[in-house]
Structures are given as structure tokens and as C-alpha cells.
Amino acid sequence: MPDTVTQQAASPTPAAAEREFTVKVRTQREIVFRRYLEHRAAVVSSVVLLLLILVAFFGPLFWHTPFTLMTNDIEVGPSTAHPFGTDSNGFDLFSQVLHGTQRSLEIAVSVSLVSTVFGAIYGAAAGFYRGWIDTIMMRFADLVLTLPALVFAIIITDKASPTVAGQWYFLAAILAALFWPSCARVVRAQVLSLREKEFVEAARALGANDRRIIFRHILPNTLGSIFVIATLTVAGTVLVETALSFLGFGIKPPDTSLGLLVESGKTAIQDGYPWLFYIPGIFIVLIVLTINFIGDGLRDAFDPQQTRVRA
């Protein structure tokens, strides 16, 4: 009798056994998020980029305006009063870098959003309908891809009126019109495969129209690639905007950007004021590197072959 009692006490009840072997099923979002957290460089880059955005957009509320003259502090080095020093005109470089970072990010994010959204829809439509529609649409995308973005942007801004050419939204519109084909080609390639899947056939059998199939069933399955392309477009836009402003065809005074600040400080190294060139350049490098690392993290997180997730 004692042995029987001991055996019954040791054996778990069915309810306890069920609780013991219950496994929590993670959603796809949780799996992607955990994969992203495992990419340390992407996580650190996310924190650094978030700090840059907060400082750029909220820092001017607590500092000088970008074009406040410091008549007693002309061409002084970094100090407590001027963390990044001042230029030859007596402008505080810290406030100018904040405004330049804000403007460069506004251009980059606007270009990324417009070109990615348009390119994703364009590529989805081409891949879904195939045939002669796909041929015509993708040949036009290939034509846009052959245009050198930097040279083409220089030509357009040079022909535009001075009052319009220096506006950041005009520059953003030009770059967005040149960057969308890359996203369109990637999405089209995925849609060509997804349109043959069973869930698309089931949606079509239930009476779903083409628009609903594309936007509710196909495009959500390409979000991983779309997010990666969007982040890389931000980084590429920052570099192109920097090059245009450096060559004098981008943002123009009285506005400013990081590229324009680098252009303004290109002779400062020989004059003995290296901070005017290097500090805006460091901010450009930080933005591009962090966004590239974030793109790598998103690519690994959305990779379906990455099936191992740490508990």
C-alpha cells in the first residue's frame, strides 16, 4: 500500500502534464523581432540612428537657430559655448549640423517612402498580370534604370528655376522618380512566384478581385524585401544628396544640408579649421552606416531560412 501511494503521488496528473508540455506558438512577427534582436550591429545601429533623429529634430528647440550670428566668436574651435565650433561667418556649426541632418533625413525618408511604395505597386502589377503588360512595364523600368541618377538630377536641377531648384522637396521628387525601378524589379520577381501559390488560387476561387489579391494576399508576403530596399534607399539617397549639394546642384542657401556643409568646409582643412569639414562628414558616415546595418538586420530577420530562434 505505501508503494502504491508513493507511485500515485509521483505520477503527474493529466492537467499537470499538459501544463508541463505546453509549447507557446510564436507568431511570425515575434519570430522576426527576435531574429532582429539577435543581430547586435542592427540593434546598436537602431539606437544610434534613433538618437541622431531625436537630436536633429528636437535639438534646435533648445539651441541657437542655424543662422544666428556669433559676432564675437568667428572661426573658433569646439568649446562649451559652441560644441562644434563656428565658421568664418560666425554661425554656430552645431545648430547648422542639426538642421542639416534634419533636412538630409527628410529628403532621404521622403525619397524612400515614395519610390518604395510606387515601385512595390508597379512591380506587383507587372508580375501579377505578366504577358505583354509585364513586358512593357518592365522595359520602361529598365529604361529608367539606365539613367545615371546623379547626372540626370544635375541636368534637371540646372534647367529648373533657381527658386524651385533649391527646395528640398523638388530634389526629393527627382530622386524618387529615379530610384523606384530597383524596388519594382525585386517585387516583380517575388510576385511571379507568389501568384502561383495555393492561397492565391483559393482567394481567386472565393471571388476576390485582382486588386484585393495583390494588396491583401501578395504584397504582404513581400514586406521583408520591401523593408530592406526602403532602408538601403535611405542610405543611397543621403549619399546622392551629399554629392549633389557638394557639386552645387542640391540644397542651396539659406537652407542647408550635410552635403552643403561639407561643401562649405572643403577648404577649411587647409585654412586650419578642420572641424568645419570633418564633423558634417562624420554625421553622414554615421547615418549611412547605421542604416546599412539596420538593412542587414532586417534582411536576416525576414529570411525564411533563418529558422533557429533563441529561447
CB 260 within 8 A of CB 126: no
Q: List the grid coordinates of 106.
A: 527628410
pLDDT value at residue 169: 85
CB 276 within 8 A of CB 100: no
| Closest of 220, 309, 311 to residue 31, by C-alpha | 309
Q: What is the pTM of this model?
A: 0.81
> Which residue numbers in the chain have pLDDT < 70?
1-26, 28, 64-79, 162-163, 165-166, 303-311
pLDDT value at residue 258: 86
CATH topology of domain 39-53+91-302: MetI-like fold (1.10.3720)
Q: 39-45, long-range: CB within 8 Å, 24+ apart, which pairs? A: 39/296, 39/297, 39/300, 39/301, 41/293, 41/296, 41/297, 42/293, 42/294, 42/296, 42/297, 42/298, 42/300, 43/297, 44/293, 45/289, 45/290, 45/291, 45/293, 45/294, 45/297
**C-alpha to C-alpha distances, 244 to 83, 176, 194, 239, nearest whole angstrom:** 27, 15, 39, 9
CA distance 38 to 19: 29
Q: Write down the domain spans for the chain.
A: 39-53+91-302
Single-letter amino acid code for the residue at 75: E
pLDDT value at residue 130: 86
Site of grid cell 510606387 = 118
Q: List the grid coordinates of 250.
A: 542640391
pLDDT value at residue 5: 47
CA distance 127 to 188: 5
| Closest of 87, 51, 91 to residue 68, by C-alpha | 91
CB 149 within 8 A of CB 175: yes
